[in-house]
Structure 1
Amino acid sequence: MNEGITEAEWSAAVAAIHSAVTADDTILLVCHVNPDGDALGSMLGVAQALVALGSTRLQATFPGPLTIPEPFAPMPGLHLLVAEDQAMARPDLLITFDAASESRLGKLRDRLETSGDSIVLDHHASFTGFGRHQLVAPTSAATAVIAAELVDRLGVALDRSIAECLYVGVITDTGSFRYELTTPAVHRLAARLVETGINPGEVSQRIFDSRTFGAVKLYGEVLSRAVLETEKRLVWTVATLDDLKRHDQPAHVLEGLIDGIRCTVEADVACLLKQVAPDEWSVSMRGRGGADVSRVAIALGGGGHRLAAGFTGRGSADEVMDQIRAAL
């Protein structure tokens, strides 16, 4: 199902996990900074599977403040999370999720050096090649798809809690089954997950269709300043820290805003600049097929997929947009 991962790689990763659980080793699971549904869902799904397998010394974490975006607050497995400053300093086994580069692990990237062994689960074409055992499949629709196969290969039966976490990962990175990597195999996996008893309507409403009125007003304001550059076939807009403060909203509400401009038919590339500091921006990019936005993102220090990528931009918003135009 996950092309690009050999049987030898699967066997080595599964053996490493079984060995760690049998020896009651310490296991640390880490996903990328500012985790989305795929990062959290794949990590918490596997974490619960390892507990079911018999792991008793396990932690899950991510870099930065231990803040869970509201759409993910009801997810099973959150009790396994610890703050990054409480994470094991020298775990026997490290497993990372949805991080294409070491930098995405923030201050926790040193665990790649201090851990006894490491396994990487990722699906980004821009994966930089770290970790000992690499379960990396750029053609997979989500890291959760790889995580689901790992759970199967570990011999752990899917229960409702594991399935809900994996389902969140799948629907997040497929845009609720709208994106091009949504294969028949992805639909078959979704069917298996739903068969455990989860409510797909309730989960999807929570992830995609639940916004406070303040967030709705914020979206309207940010979208109203969108700019269409016809010659570049580019549409873009900016969300500032002042916007968040004015509408009393946390930063995570901006994660779905890119969809408000990516549908622009006159543009092939959509960009959303989200301010994280006075001269620092988290840039989300989406393509409609004519341009490979991952090449742009990689050129600017980030990564991603052909139709979805991102990077951290520095300088003013206009300066970051000039960098994007030049790369395009």
Structure 2
Amino acid sequence: MEENTPSIEGLLKLLRGGTGVCLVACHPNADLDAVGSQIAIKWLLEKLGYQKVVLYSPEGPSHVAQRILEEAKVNVSSFPPVSRSDLLIVVDTGSLAQLAGFDVGGFPAKKKILIDHHEPDEELRGLLDHSYVWGQRDSYCSTSEIVFELIGRTGFSPPREVCLAMLAGIIADTVGLRHATPGTLRRVANLLDEGDLTLERVTQILSVEEQSLPRRIAHIKSAQRAVLERIDESIIVITRVSSFEGSSAKALINLGADVALVSSERGGKIRMSARASNSVVERGLNLGLVMKEIGRYIGGGGGGHAAAAGAVGEKGLEEAEKLFVGLVKEQLCER
């Protein structure tokens, strides 16, 4: 692998000239930023001349991300839909463990590129035999923004559904633009203009999330099983469910928790999802850093954003929950 972080222009150069097959992969239960990035990259690569661009997320997309896929009339496969490709792009994924067993190193591809707004861990970086990109240095709040910048360098005008997909990713990863930078807000304004969209229309689409019976049951069980910890006036909730970890953690925040950790353990795999309220994030809590450490502890990987992050691994769930509480307390008490 080349030890560099190419510029947007350098990344575009890597993508140009291809005419074959590209696989665009991301983490399991793909969220809005992952799916928004995938949809936009698929459209861009087809414009650049690729004959076939297929999208992959272990376990498929999240429930709310499925709405954006339906708007764009695009599918994301829950298993690798091709056995080899000319180009492999991994998006919005910071560690190998987050790819849930997908063999990045062994997958036959002429180029392997990561596009993410977080720095990847050493294990994943070592398997990218060409280059990687992470957008922290350019103040990107989402991977969708990086892809929008790529498209902007080509002079192409993305259609409405592609603009909608990128906007959804940006809005989700900035918690409704509450954590957006000035650069992010400029990109949002440009996307609204190019897609002839209104912010009201975009948020309306994202806010309509049907709650299935299994999801509602998981939310209720997460509250029933919750163990509470207090740090001064802040409440940390630790609980377990068998599925819907992310939405259960979000539901607990909506119930009044300041920090929620929801975990599951099945088939020898541990999945942990954490969420935080705006108030504790403003006090300095960064769940992305916390879950990165948790991921290492459970023998896998983790990461994410200040207010939403996760980890996957194979061992030590009970001790990892205790470590989580300790790391959160450490961050909050430092402030």
Same fold (TM > 0.5)? yes
Partner of 2:287: 293
Partner of 1:149: 149
Partner of 2:103: 109
Partner of 2:210: 211
Residues 246-302 of structure 1 show CA distances to partners (whole Å, capped at 9, x for unaligned) of xxxxx45x53443344478885xx132132517754222235233333333222222
Q: 2:40 & 2:9 partners in 1: Cα distance?
A: 20
Residues 43-99 of structure 1 show CA distances to partners (whole Å, capped at 9, x for unaligned) of 1111112223332122221223x4652552352445354452422x23111111101
Residues 193-248 of structure 1 show CA distances to partners (whole Å, capped at 9, x for unaligned) of 2221335434423433423374456535534554432248551142422xxxxxxx
Within the candidate set 254, 263, 269, 1:274 is matched to 263
Q: 2:250 & 2:158 partners in 1: Cα distance?
A: 32
Q: 2:212 & 2:98 partners in 1: Cα distance?
A: 32
AA of the residue aligned to 1:100: G
Q: 1:25 & 1:102 partners in 2: Cα distance?
A: 25
Q: Secondary structure of 2:36's match? A: helix
Within the candidate set 180, 183, 186, 2:184 is matched to 186
Residues 160-200 of structure 1 show CA distances to partners (whole Å, capped at 9, x for unaligned) of 02101101111111111123xx0122122112222213354
Q: 2:253 & 2:150 partners in 1: Cα distance?
A: 33
Partner of 1:137: 135
Q: 1:305 & 1:71 partners in 2: Cα distance?
A: 18
Partner of 1:229: 229
| TM-score of the superposed pair, with normalisation by structure 1 | 0.78
Q: Secondary structure of 1:157's match? A: coil
Q: Which moved more, 1:156-165 or 1:295-304?
A: 295-304
AA of the residue aligned to 2:92: D
In the TM superposition, residue 32 of structure 1 has moved relative to its aligned partner by 1.4
- The 5 Å alignment of 1:30-45 reads 30-45=25-40
Q: Which moved more, 1:77-86 or 1:148-157?
A: 77-86
Q: 1:151 & 1:229 partners in 2: Cα distance?
A: 46
- The 5 Å alignment of 1:1-328 reads 8-20=6-18, 24-64=19-59, 66=60, 69=63, 71-75=65-69, 76-79=71-74, 81-87=76-82, 89-110=83-104, 114-125=108-119, 127-128=121-122, 129-130=125-126, 131=128, 132-138=130-136, 139-179=139-179, 182-195=180-193, 196-198=195-197, 200-212=199-211, 214=213, 215-216=215-216, 218-220=218-220, 222-223=222-223, 225-231=225-231, 233-241=234-242, 251-252=243-244, 254-262=245-253, 267=258, 270-277=259-266, 280-285=269-274, 286=276, 287-288=280-281, 289-301=283-295, 302-312=302-312, 318-328=318-328
Q: Secondary structure of 1:110's match? A: coil
AA of the residue aligned to 2:55: A
Residues 134-157 of structure 1 show CA distances to partners (whole Å, capped at 9, x for unaligned) of 220134211111111111123321
Q: Secondary structure of 1:79's match? A: coil
Q: 1:237 & 1:81 partners in 2: Cα distance?
A: 32
Partner of 1:247: none
Q: 1:217 & 1:10 partners in 2: Cα distance?
A: 44
Q: Residues 310 and 18 (structure 1 numbering): CA distance in 2 closer, same or farther, change over 3 Å?
A: same
Q: Secondary structure of 1:189's match? A: helix
Q: 1:46 & 1:239 partners in 2: Cα distance?
A: 35
* 8 Å CA contact retained: 1:29, 1:96: yes
| Number of residue-to-residue matches in the alignment | 304
Q: 1:149 & 1:105 partners in 2: Cα distance?
A: 25
AA of the residue aligned to 2:39: L
- Identity over the aligned pairs, expressed in percent? 21
